[in-house]
């Protein structure tokens, strides 16, 4: 290799290094990271309807992205995420099974993942319950049972798809039980008008929603 060739090679190396450094700078200045965990772990992650990858640390251009997580025998989940430059946002996605047979087959083939999934689901339920009680102290006093009525809480009828939305269920066994239940709520410092209340029992066997 003569002197001219050596100089040319050195120039190419320098240009390559500068290009690589510029690319790294561009990544840092224009990208953020989505730290995605999925159950099952081999789910396919589709980004903006085109790019397919797996869960883990995913570098994305800053801005809004549509993420879809899918796998055979599971129901797909689709959601939007906003990525911020130089920031990491974490998201856990647990896919529901399409049917009971699929759940049994998958759990048999993946016992370790099945145990982890059960543990995470239990933790999620506990955390969600703690959050609900922190936001709404009346829940810590329920169920409340008297001789003529029972006050409990459950899924919202108005917002059934919102896991954070709850309704109070008042079951009455006497004509004046509804008024007594409302009086008990007020005596505890809670305004009945602040709640979605579903009545059933003595004066109306069919559920009635306030």
Whether residues 142 and 105 share a domain: the answer is no
**Could you tell me the pLDDT band of residue 10, with boundaries at 50, 70 and 90?**
low
Whether residues 41 and 97 share a domain: the answer is yes
How far is the C-alpha of 100 from the C-alpha of 102, rounded, in Å? 5
pLDDT at 187: 94
118, HSE (Cβ side, Cα atoms, 13 Å)? 7
Read off the CATH number of the domain in which 66 is found: 2.60.40.1120
Whether residues 202 and 149 share a domain: the answer is yes
How far is the C-alpha of 165 from the C-alpha of 91, rounded, in Å? 21
Which of residues 2 and 111 earns the better pLDDT score? 111
Total structural domains within the chain: 2
The pTM (predicted TM-score) of the whole model is 0.50
Task: Decide the pairing of beta strands 77-83 and 144-145.
Answer: unpaired
User: Residue 23 pLDDT > 60, yes or no?
Assistant: no
- Structural domain of residue 95, as residue ranges? 31-111
What sign does the CA torsion over 151, 153, 154, 156 have?
positive
Whether residues 100 and 35 share a domain: the answer is yes
User: Residue 7 pLDDT > 70, yes or no?
Assistant: no
In a domain, 49, yes or no: yes
Average pLDDT value for the chain: 80
Q: What is the pLDDT of residues 145-188, one digit of tens each?
A: 988 889 988 878 888 777 778 889 998 877 788 999 999 999 99
pLDDT at 15: 59
Beta strands in 55-160 (DSSP E): 56-61, 63-70, 77-83, 88-94, 144-145, 149-155
- 100-109 and 111-135 helices, crossing angle to 10°: 120
Task: Measure CA 8 to chain center.
Answer: 56
């Amino acid at each position: 290799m003569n002197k001219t060739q050596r100089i040319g090679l050195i120039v190419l190396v320098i240009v390559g290094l500068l290009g690589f450094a510029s690319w790294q700078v561009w990544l840092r200045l224009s990208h953020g990271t989505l730290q995605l965990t999925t159950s099952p772990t081999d789910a396919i992650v589709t980004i903006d309807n085109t790019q397919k990858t797996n869960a883990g640390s995913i570098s994305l251009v800053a801005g809004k992205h549509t993420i879809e997580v899918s796998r055979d025998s599971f129901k797909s989940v689709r959601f939007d995420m906003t990525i911020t430059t130089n920031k990491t946002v974490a998201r856990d996605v647990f896919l529901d099974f399409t049917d009971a047979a699929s759940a049994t087959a998958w759990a048999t083939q993946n016992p370790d993942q099945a145990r982890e999934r059960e543990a995470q689901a239990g933790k999620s339920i506990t955390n969600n319950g703690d959050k609900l009680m922190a936001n709404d102290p009346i829940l810590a006093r329920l169920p409340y049972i008297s001789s003529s009525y029972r006050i409990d809480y459950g899924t919202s009828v108005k917002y059934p798809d919102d896991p954070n939305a709850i309704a109070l269920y008042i079951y009455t066994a006497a004509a004046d039980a509804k008024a007594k239940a409302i009086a008990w709520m007020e005596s505890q410092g809670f305004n009945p008008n602040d709640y979605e209340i579903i009545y059933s029992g003595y004066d109306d066997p069919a559920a009635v929603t306030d």
